[in-house]
Amino acid sequence: MTNIGLIRHGITAWNKEGRAQGSSDIPLHEEGLAEAGRLAERLGGESWDVIYSSNLLRAKQTAEAIQEKIGSIPLHLDPRIREVGGGMIEGTTEAERLEKWGKDWREMDLGFEPKENIINRGLEFLQEITDKHPGENVLIVSHGSFIRHLLRELVPHTDLSSPLKNTSITKLLIKESQWDCELYNCTKHLEVKQIESC
């Protein structure tokens, strides 16, 4: 039995502006660094054995904040868990896409990474992780669209209607080759009220 914690990276300037990021290498916004710190505080009180992260900076910075809090936990970067490639829409807002390509831009050939490729690299990665870490608790820091593609494939019976929030954690459990989602899109660490100093 392997426990997986899937984490979406902290917020970036492009997230705040509503720009498609895809494989563009955007760092965390100052707010995203603070979110990653609060997530790290939460995870520091739990038991995790290893962290895998996308090699894109926004995920790597989130993973490093967690590693710093947990201590001796190893961190590995893996390009297979990068965000879905957005082709020509990377760096654009919805309004800019509508202006440039019209309302049917999603149906156009704008160089999006094929779904088959996303699923294949994700499943190959997860198979390797579960083979390598049986009975362990594994954190995976990745990206919203990539994680949702994987979840639709692994736990299609789970309600995935709410968009993944930045620094959310989704917990999966694999037992006898069967995946189950124990927690989806949880950001309770961001809801902790900050006590103001007098």
2-190 is classed in which CATH architecture?
3-Layer(aba) Sandwich (3.40)
pLDDT number for residue 197: 36
| 48-90: pLDDT as tens digits | 999 999 999 999 999 999 999 998 899 999 999 999 999 999 9
Residue 68 annotated to the active site: no
Dist CA 143 CA 22 (whole Å): 9
Q: Which two tokens stand for residue 91?
A: 């760096």
Q: Is 185 annotated as a binding residue?
A: no
User: For the chain, what percent of residues have pLDDT higher than 90?
Assistant: 91
Q: Is 55 annotated as a binding residue?
A: no
User: For the chain, what percent of residues have pLDDT higher than 70?
Assistant: 96
pLDDT number for residue 195: 43
Exposed / middle / buried, residue 165 (Cβ in 10 Å: 0-12, 13-18, 19+): middle
Q: Is 187 annotated as a binding residue?
A: no
The dihedrals phi and psi of 112, each to the nearest 5 degrees, come to -65, 145
Q: Is 26 annotated as a binding residue?
A: no
Q: Is 170 annotated as a binding residue?
A: no
Task: Using pLDDT thresholds of 50, 70 and 90, give the confidence band for residue 192.
Answer: low
> What is the pTM for the complete model shown?
0.94
Q: Which residue has the tokens 């505080």?
A: 41
- Catalytic site residue from 83, 90, 113, 143: 83
DSSP 24-72: --PPBPHHHHHHHHHHHHHHHTS---EEEE-SSHHHHHHHHHHHHHH-S
- With a cut of 80, say whether residue 9 has pLDDT above it: yes
Residue 133 annotated to the active site: no
Q: Where are the domains of the chain?
A: 2-190
Dist CA 33 CA 65 (whole Å): 8
pLDDT number for residue 196: 41
Q: What is the DSSP letter of 102?
A: -
- Catalytic site residue from 9, 29, 35, 90: 9
Query: Average pLDDT over the chain, rounded to whole?
Result: 94
